[in-house]
Amino acid sequence: MPKRVLQGSVVSDKTDKTVVVLVERRFTHPVLKKTVRRTKKYHAHDEGNVHKIGDLVSIEETAPISKNKRWIVVGTEQSGDK
């Protein structure tokens, strides 16, 4: 089974070798037919402490690394804002 890959932005890099990534998903509400945004935070392993707050990153599912970490940062996305 393939591992899930999600994209999100780093909202915290205070802990050593860990970043908190905010991932947003959008879906249509089944009754209201309105687009709804839901966000969730994931703790991801960042071995080199290279990612900073505001970076767009891809994270991939992995075996548990610690109590909260089940994701690892696999790459940095290019931001179109700059």
Q: pLDDT of 35-68, one tens digit each?
A: 999 999 999 999 999 999 999 999 999 999 999 9
Length of the chain: 82
pLDDT for residue 81 is more than 80: no
Domain ranges of the chain: 5-76
- pTM of the full predicted structure? 0.87
Q: Are 61 and 42 in contact (CB under 8 A)?
A: no
Average pLDDT over residues 27-32: 97
Structure-token match 């966000």, residue found: 39
How far apart are the C-alpha atoms of 20 and 2, rounded to whole Å?
23
How far apart are the C-alpha atoms of 13 and 66, rounded to whole Å?
16
CATH fold group of domain 5-76: OB fold (Dihydrolipoamide Acetyltransferase, E2P) (2.40.50)
pLDDT for residue 79 is more than 70: no
The amino acid that residue 24 corresponds to is E
